[in-house]
Structure 1
Amino acid sequence: MGTVVLSVDAELGWGFHDFAEPPRDRLANARRGWRTLLDLCEEYRVPATWAVVGHLFLEACDGRHEDHPAPPGWFEHERGTDRMSSSRRFADGLIERIDGAEVDHEIGLHTFSHVELGAGGTTARLADAELAAAVEAAREWGLDRQPRSFVFPRNKVGNLQALADHGITCYRGTAPTDRPTDGYGGAGRLVRAAVGSASPPLVEPRQDSLGLVDLPASLFLFSVEGLARSVAEPFVGDPVAILARRGIDEAAASDGVFHMWLHPNNLVTPRDVVRMEAILEHLARVRARTDLRVRTMGAVAATAREGGETVAKAVATDGSAPE
């Protein structure tokens, strides 16, 4: 019995606050994309893991965060003449929509302010502060359960000890690289895979030496954009939708996990929404005629922990494999 997992990097403006030139179209559509994705999940009864940047749980702040050991200037875009608007700094009802949805979504974490925990300059102290602040913000917001799942900003895995110290039990690891489409490769490679017969990799949850469950990604649902997408679509259709459908079909025919992910701000244009609807509609059809399950990261991780699954080589606490 296979499983499909959908995880969502919910960040609004925080995903780009350290960019000199953020993508304005994605920022402008971040809130609308969030609502649209929730509506699609509701329509097709798809529970997702929403990894929320912790700052979004807040209702207000002074933009200084003086007790936070962030590098100088990290919160500069929260104040001053070029500061982010409040609609990009705070969720303002969006998390309530996740929590109150009829579909049983999971609310996880995506750090407090989108610090890359796996970046070379991120200290253990900074990682601990990011997790502590995110967990506290979620608690004060009123989340009635401990966040269990975590997504690393920009998929840079590291400082795993901080996750374990703050009650996280599962994280989205990087995709395997033994298949033609791993979700992180170049768009051209993915287009060639879609034209051929390749499928995204199915993954297995793996428990590390800290007891954390690594649930790797299979496919980023907006990995083929721009010119590559425009050139491919008239001839073969949407390459990512093709690959996603194959991943769903392969999961239904096996015991593996197909783990797809996106940001709400990827839903910029009508054709982006069409892509997501096509993928979720296919998922609904396959689920209706097979034993395919759609589960959250936390649910998959709980099953893995109960089964005592382990990796062949335990992952070290800094996120790298030991010698």
Structure 2
Amino acid sequence: MGTVVISVDAELGWGFHDYEPGDRPTERIERSRWGWNRLADLFEEFRIPATWAIVGHLFESECNGAHVGHPSPPGWFDHERDPDPMPAEFRFAPDLIRSLVDGPVDHDIGSHTYSHVEFGESYATPELARAECERSVEVAEAAGLSLSSFIFPRNKLGHRAALAETGFTCYRGPAPEPAIDGPLLAPARKLARATVVDAAPPLVEPTVDEHGLVNVPASLFLYELQGPARRAIASAVGDPVLKQARLGIDAAAAGDGICHLWLHPNNVRREYDVEPLREILRYLDRARERTDLTVETMADVAEATLRGERQTAKQV
């Protein structure tokens, strides 16, 4: 019996706060609340639970931007207090979180760090990683929530010991790299990965690492190919990511692995971004009706793995 997992990197403006103001993707930030709500509506429409890994600062409703005692790099919180701060609606989101928690779908609320620190970067000291984990847990507990799932910002893994020490049980590891021949530059490799539509994305299996954490690797980023390029290809031969997602769902329905799909709310900016996602969720909903396919969250997978109910999991 296979499984589909969907995880969401929920960050609003925090996903880009370390960019120079002129380099921030304005539309992605300005449409991020709209995308969050549309995504939540789609999950509700098809009753599909997901893991929402939320930047911890979004649990708060206000702050002075000082964060005294937080061991962050110099200037890390300048966007909250400089002469032109990022608007509060993209720094705070207790309303969006409460809507998720109070809704009819039993989502898994996890962490995306407290302030979108990349744990794999040199500036992320052990002290900073621990503080980010601890503060994320604190603000979630203040909202009545317990966190167990963790997603690393920009998928840069690091300081996994800090996760284990602060009570997390699982994280999303990187997807297996597809075999693409030739010395392609990064943009070309990205296009190649997104348009190899005859191959299903890899099914993955959870593994337990040396810290006792369950790694639930990714299979497919649903918006790796975006904008005019995706629409042009879709108009010619059909949406390539939609095709890959369907193949992944079919593979999971026919096997015992996990098809782990992921995205950001800020990938969903216009109605033309919504429709392929609706088709994926509709396809998933129909697949679980006619097969033994299950839809689970990262927390569900981790719990079953640690209980020994997923026999394919292994110690690494």
Q: What is the TM-score with the length of structure 2 in the denominator?
A: 0.93
Contact kept, 8 Å, 1:179 with 1:200, in 2: the verdict is no
Amino acid at match of 2:238: G
Give the stretch that moved more between structures: 300-309 or 107-116. Answer: 300-309
Deviations 1:102-126 (CA, angstroms, capped at 9, x unpaired): 1110100000000001112211001
Amino acid at match of 2:177: T
1:219 aligns with 2:217: no
The Cα shift of 1:298 comes to 0.3
Deviations 1:14-36 (CA, angstroms, capped at 9, x unpaired): 00101111111111111111111
1:153 aligns with 2:153: yes
The Cα shift of 1:230 comes to 3.1
The Cα shift of 1:271 comes to 1.0
Change (3 A) 1:173 1:191: closer
Deviations 1:267-291 (CA, angstroms, capped at 9, x unpaired): 0121100111011011111111111
Contact kept, 8 Å, 2:56 with 2:111, in 1: the verdict is yes
Cα distance in 2 between the residues matched to 1:266 and 1:142:
28
Cα distance in 2 between the residues matched to 1:305 and 1:45:
26
Cα distance in 2 between the residues matched to 1:158 and 1:256:
26
1:82 aligns with 2:84: yes
Amino acid at match of 1:300: V
Amino acid at match of 1:284: D
The Cα shift of 1:179 comes to 5.4
Q: Among all aligned residue pairs of Structure 1 and Structure 2, give the percentage whose two residues are the same amino acid.
A: 52
Q: Aligned to 2:171, what secondary structure does the other structure show?
A: strand
1:188 aligns with 2:194: no
Please point out which of 109, 112, 117 is paired with 1:110: 112
Amino acid at match of 1:283: L
Amino acid at match of 1:187: K
Contact kept, 8 Å, 2:205 with 2:312, in 1: the verdict is no
Cα distance in 2 between the residues matched to 1:42 and 1:236:
30
Q: Aligned to 1:242, what secondary structure does the other structure show?
A: helix
The Cα shift of 1:192 comes to 3.6
Cα distance in 1 between the residues matched to 2:296 and 2:245:
16
1:72 aligns with 2:74: yes
Cα distance in 2 between the residues matched to 1:276 and 1:230:
14
Cα distance in 1 between the residues matched to 2:195 and 2:15:
30
Cα distance in 2 between the residues matched to 1:179 and 1:280:
27
Q: Aligned to 1:129, what secondary structure does the other structure show?
A: helix
1:140 aligns with 2:142: yes
Change (3 A) 1:60 1:191: closer
Match of 1:57 in 2: 59
Cα distance in 1 between the residues matched to 2:64 and 2:7:
31
Match of 1:131 in 2: 133
Cα distance in 2 between the residues matched to 1:265 and 1:226:
13
Match of 1:259 in 2: 260
Q: Aligned to 2:307, what secondary structure does the other structure show?
A: helix
Q: Any unmatched runs of 5+ in structure 2?
A: 181-186
Q: Any unmatched runs of 5+ in structure 1?
A: 315-323
Deviations 1:147-203 (CA, angstroms, capped at 9, x unpaired): 0000000000000010001000000000112556xxx98332134411xx2110000
Match of 1:31 in 2: 33
Cα distance in 2 between the residues matched to 1:121 and 1:170:
23
Deviations 1:43-88 (CA, angstroms, capped at 9, x unpaired): 0110000001000111111111011000000000011222111101
Count of residue correspondences: 306
Contact kept, 8 Å, 1:7 with 1:260, in 2: the verdict is yes
Match of 1:235 in 2: 236
Cα distance in 1 between the residues matched to 2:101 and 2:190:
34
Cα distance in 1 between the residues matched to 2:103 and 2:136:
22
Amino acid at match of 2:287: V
Q: CA RMSD in A?
A: 1.6
Contact kept, 8 Å, 1:207 with 1:309, in 2: the verdict is no
